[in-house]
A and B are shown apart, each in its own frame.
Chain A
Amino acid sequence: MKNYLMTYKKDFIIIAAFAIFAATYNFYTPAFGSTVLSNFESAFFEMIAFIPLMFILIGLFEVWVPRELIERHIGTESGARGSVWVILLAMLQVGPLYGAFPVAFLLWRKGASTRNIFIYLGAFTTMKIPMLSFEIGFLGWRFSLMRTLLSLPVFIIIAVIMEKLFERDFEIYEINKGK
């Protein structure tokens, strides 16, 4: 608990300040304050019931997904087939982009092509299933499907360009490991 408070110290200070504002705004800025509060309430209560359910789904997803099964195929299959495997692997991940770099390093060491490494990064950023579930929940099927379908060719083209540019001297360094 203490750890939790410390990790999010900045956030809790802001939340505490906001609570004080919510309790006192009536005395100095009633009109502005009530706009702020109604903005906050409408967003907060709409989402707070929704988000824990999504995270339970993501947690179940985390324990059931057979990542090792897919990892076995990486590097051993080249070309388009290899691309499909790295996209699948990327779709099963959770987390921010910088979390993908160490995985990219491992893929590179396992012999994945330059193109497939950048396809992995592209799919990691735009097609992670836990992220898509959030996207569908908040922005709707239509938006999510369209954005994903448009992203796919874009990051594949980026990967092809990166391969053309860097194929001969491409290298990933193993720094920041274990961070």
Chain B
Amino acid sequence: MTTEDATEQGVAEDPTPGRPGGVRTAVEPEYGFPAPLFRVAARIPVPPPFHPRTWRSPLRGTWLTSVFGAVLLVGLPIVILTGLMSYIAYGPQFGQAIPGDVGGLHLPFFDWPTDPSWFYRLTQGLHVVGGMVLTPIVLAKLWSVVPKLFAWPPVTSVAQLLERISLLALVGGILFEFVTGLMNSQYDYSWGFGFYTAHYYGAWVFIAGFVSHVVIKLPTMVRALRSGPHGTGAFARWLHDSPAETEPEPMDSHGLAALDPNRPTLSRRGLLGLVGGGSLLVGVFSIGQTWDAARPLALLSPRGQSYGDGPNDFQINRTLAGSGINPVALGDGWRLRLTGGSGEVSLSRADLAAMPQHTAVLPIACVEGWSTTRTWSGVRLRDLAALAGVPAPDNAFVASVETAGAFARATLQSNQVLDEDSLLALRVGDDDGGPMADLSPDHGYPARVIVPALPGVHNTKWVASIDFRRRGGAA
């Protein structure tokens, strides 16, 4: 079957599975101590799924797993690092990152920047949408190594026993992180534990498994990708073959290639296209939650929906009803209290509106992965700090009229108070120069904080007071 016509005929007319590659024999693994015991165990006949003939796909093999591994080796560190950065963005120096005390398990602390203003939108969008896009590749990788889960004998050395235990951290870690992350971003909290704590510590178990797996397997991956079919180094040939030309990967000591492969019905490029296409599909329907132009495509995301109320039509993470605030407290009697200086300053909404107004186009980005750009106008936080008599505060404590929720208050860093675009916003509009309107009650009327690159929940709504603080100072 060398000419193209003959191969096409072979696909079309011969229904019996061929045996491409001739007779295949399993490579005996390198047994550790006690080797005779493992050899005896290997001779015991076992039923499926432990029998090596259970797994028939002709595409499985060290090369294919290495391709998925290489993609994840690039993708997963992005998701891991952006996730750990989100912990820093919450302000652990003020005790407002969750979980509070994580021992040594964190990136080096630094002051979260306000520039570029889309920084948190980018990192958290990469974390959430990146995780979603990687899901098909993670599943494909797990599919490609499933024969190892049922390998017989289950252990061939002390090394392998320890490695299999460490794989529980890897596989359990990644499944736990993806399941909890996907559920949390869709408001499904049916776990019986707090999301932040679980997702954070789960990440470190996964990191433990991931780093150790990379250290152990990187040489195998590089070798497999370099060597290509039959050691020819012709990487492209694996991808060039049509289904009929596709030869199974050779058997090797890694035990992924099938002992008794079926005739291929899908080429290697077809499989990679299928997996990559799955990622693309997920990306197309997910990117809209964090990229305004693609929002109409976010058909499956709860955050793809519209409120249909003009300038205030953007996502709400805490409704007025949910906050438990008595709306009377936000009426004409509402006052903003500024403290930290020699005396307390009290301002009505009319007072605030009479102050110099600043307009800024800023994104608001949620830890759940949605974000949107809006035009905000209101009073600069640094003007309020000066008014309070603390023109150069070390931090500022913002409290909401709301008292119940975990995010009814937030401490802002000095750079977050003093940035020229940091506002106590009174009005909002779309990002396109459309009409502006007063903040709606659900978006924090009479006034809310909006700070560049700050996680959404720390942009406190229904602000009641701001305390500008100096370190060890007279506050």
Q: Is A bound to B?
A: no
Which A residues form the contact surface with B (CB < 8 A)? none
Q: Which positions in B face A, CB cutoff 8 Å?
A: none
